[in-house]
Amino acid sequence: MVQTVRGREARRAAILRRAAEVFRRKGFHGAGMREIARGLGMAPGALYYYFKGKEDLLFACQAMSLRRLIQSATEIASSGLPPQHMLRQIVRAHLRHTLGDMGGGLAHLEFHALPPEMLEEVVRQRDAYEAIVRQVLKEGMAAGVFAARDVKLAALTVLGALNWTVVWWRPEGPYTIEEVSEQVAATLLRGVTR
């Protein structure tokens, strides 16, 4: 029986979630295709039907995460909300995507393990996302809502704090994604607000 496109995409998404979980526990270099396959009840060879190797899995994790981050940030930035509300929503969306969609995967930080051609594409997408965050910060500074700062450094500080949550947050830990999102958003907004 031929697998439908929808079924194939659902299976790929399940594989990516599992890979992100294994990357979170063991790091990219410590993770193995066999362990990822075993957690899905698949034969290791079947995993190669969907992905050529571990680098393809990492790239796909990055691509999925960045696609969702850019889509959410674009919608939020064009919403017409005041800049402080846009920034709060971007923080919440960022954490929902990186912690929730990807299971808190360190795959979001381990992109440097990618081969050069894949790394170049990921960096391009990360830069596009950063540009949206910078624009929101710039608008807030121009409106006098955010303290005037170097917008690039402000954006890198915000994104660095958000990305680092995948290192310390645990799905089984004491804080839900919503609790972390609210606290991190409040802390970051206090840091940029006048």
Task: Write the secondary structure of 95-128 as one string of H (helix), E (strand) and C (coil).
Answer: HHHHHHHCCCCHHHCHHHHCCHHHHHHHHHHHHH
Average of per-residue pLDDT values in the chain: 88
Tokens at 68, concatenated = 């969702």
Please give the pLDDT value at position 54: 87
> Of the CATH numbers 1.10.10.10, 1.10.150.20, 1.10.357.10, 3.90.550.10, which one belongs to the domain with range 54-192?
1.10.357.10
Q: What percent of the chain clears pLDDT 90, i.e. is strictly above it?
A: 48
- Ranges of each domain in the chain: 54-192
Pair 40, 14: CB distance under 8 Å: yes
Q: What percent of the chain clears pLDDT 70, i.e. is strictly above it?
A: 93
Check whether 158 has a pLDDT greater than 90: yes
Please give the pLDDT value at position 176: 92
Pair 133, 73: CB distance under 8 Å: yes
Please give the pLDDT value at position 156: 95
pTM over 0.75: yes
Check whether 40 has a pLDDT greater than 70: yes
Check whether 1 has a pLDDT greater than 50: no
Helix axis angle for 151-168 and 116-142, nearest 10°, is 120
User: 32 or 154: whose pLDDT is higher?
Assistant: 154
